[in-house]
Amino acid sequence: MIRTLFFTISICLLTIFNTQSKAQSWDEIIKAVASDRAADDLFGYSVSISGDYAIVGAHHNDKDASGGNTLTNSDASYIFEKGESGNWLEKQKIVASDRTANDWFGAQVSVSGDYAIVGAYGNDTDASGENTLDNAGAAYIFCKFPIVTASADDTIVCEGENVTLTASGDADSYTWDNSVNDGVAFTPPVGTTTYTVTGTNLTGCYAIDTIDIKVNLTYSFIETQTICDGEAYNWHGQDLDTSGTYYDNQTTVNGCDSIYKLTLTVNPTPSNFIITGLTSVSESQFEIYYVPINTDLTYSWNTENGNVISYPSDNSAQIQWGSLGTGYIYVMSTNQFGCSSDTAKLEINIVSTDTNNINNNDDINIYPNPAKGKVFVKCADDFVMEIYNLSGKKLITSEKNRN
């Protein structure tokens, strides 16, 4: 009899009324039914309302929250919420986490604030789902979780850029992990990081949301180059010939800057110089040639129609000259920076030491030859005579002579 009376009262409470103060009358606002209503569910067997929330028990519902997994008389309850327009809408179907047949979950219900409680007087197990006792009964407490949404001003940024994370919803407070403060800019690390925000209401119920922030690398390239004065270094399309620090920015495929830095040093080159020594020598003659003394320089000697025999000092070379004709000396200096001077060049006149060349000439007669004293020269035509010693040194240049 008590059971029947409770059923009758509950059914009556299923229809929600509104009172008009002047007329002192109650008007029906809505008739609520289950979204998955089925025969013999006994939806409305128990009801409770508090503020903008109502809970309705379905004493004989056999389905789970998704409408499947039939268990006879496992039962269910339905949460309704009053919207901004005043309409009551079904928000959620709730069932026991460990539902079994004949639990009678929803035979008694109550809602207050953010909490709801549902009785299941036919449940047989303890809180851990063990220690079975027939019809020992249980009650389930539910909490209304706040709505929490995580957002960011930008989810893909470049290394070194700031991001601001913001939480929204109906929670009373929000807490981020990774030492992030809501609404405060920070610099995230390179890579993809998941940030979690927890929204909590005043009753202690909470919900979480996550957001991924991807940080792409910003590349930095540092280059150091050294050139010699008079040279140019081509860098990113520029011909640079002055010491200094240069920068250039490029953009990666991810839209991030790549910073290039060049430190360029222009070292001095040695001053140009001359080679000193005899410029007229005999065939096969040995002669020493000189360049300026400079301990900061090294010299590289090369010859044409002659051979470098030795280096008597850092600034000299002994050369043996070749056959009759012209010879050349080439010398280049290099300093401690590896910079080189222009190549110095000296032209050498190589004369013959063969006396037969003269005696065999019908136009010239020298006698006596060989001689230890005076020498007479006769020529068919007028001539100017130059006399050199064996080292190639000019000894005499005569006036114009007549036969």
156 and 174 belong to one structural domain: yes
8 and 82 belong to one structural domain: yes
**Residue 165, in any domain of the structure:** yes
Domain's final residue, options 233, 266, 299: 266
165 and 258 belong to one structural domain: no
CATH number at residue 171: 2.60.40.1080
**Residue 121, in any domain of the structure:** yes
Of 77-86, 96-105, 228-237, 378-387, the range with the lowest mean pLDDT is 378-387
**Residue 208, in any domain of the structure:** yes
Edge-to-edge strand list for the sheet holding 43-50: 43-50, 53-58, 76-82, 88-94
**Residue 275, in any domain of the structure:** no
46 and 110 belong to one structural domain: yes
319 and 377 belong to one structural domain: no
Identify any residues that bridge with 303 across adjacent strands, giving them in sequence order: 329
Dist. CA 109–CA 120, nearest whole Å:
9
226 and 208 belong to one structural domain: no
100 and 36 belong to one structural domain: yes
3-state secondary structure of 357: helix
207 and 233 belong to one structural domain: no
Domain's final residue, options 317, 334, 351: 351
pLDDT at 255: 85
- Asked if 329 and 346 touch (Cβ cutoff 8 Å), the reply is yes
pLDDT at 367: 66
Domain carrying residue 224? 220-266
29 and 112 belong to one structural domain: yes
Could you tell me which of 77, 51, 47, 53 has the C-alpha nearest to residue 64?
77
Domain's final residue, options 216, 239, 258: 216
**Residue 402, in any domain of the structure:** no
Dist. CA 363–CA 383, nearest whole Å:
11
Buried b (16+ CB within 10 A) or exposed e, 50-70: eeebbbbbbbbbbbbeeeeee
230 and 183 belong to one structural domain: no
179 and 123 belong to one structural domain: no
pLDDT in tens, 309-322: 999 999 999 999 99
**Residue 273, in any domain of the structure:** no
Strand ranges for 170-216 from DSSP E? 173-176, 185-186, 191-200, 206-216
What amino acid occupies position 130? E
**Residue 251, in any domain of the structure:** yes
Could you tell me which of 308, 347, 305, 345 has the C-alpha nearest to residue 324?
305
Dist. CA 206–CA 162, nearest whole Å:
28
pLDDT at 380: 64
Does a cis peptide bond (omega within 30 degrees of 0) precede residue 368?
yes
Identify any residues that bridge with 7 across adjacent strands, giving them in sequence order: none
- Asked if 264 and 241 touch (Cβ cutoff 8 Å), the reply is no
User: Residue 391 above 60 pLDDT?
Assistant: no
Buried b (16+ CB within 10 A) or exposed e, 299-333: bebebeebeeeeeeeebbbebbbbeeeebebebbb
**Residue 290, in any domain of the structure:** yes
CATH number at residue 330: 2.60.40.10
pLDDT at 254: 82
138 and 10 belong to one structural domain: yes
* C-alpha dist (Å) from residue 358 to 284, 289, 364, 393, 394: 19, 30, 7, 19, 18
Of 144-148, 181-185, 198-202, 363-367, the range with the lowest mean pLDDT is 363-367
pLDDT at 209: 97
Domain count, the chain: 5
N residues, the chain: 403
Average pLDDT of the chain, as a whole number: 85
Of 2-6, 59-63, 74-78, 368-372, the range with the lowest mean pLDDT is 2-6
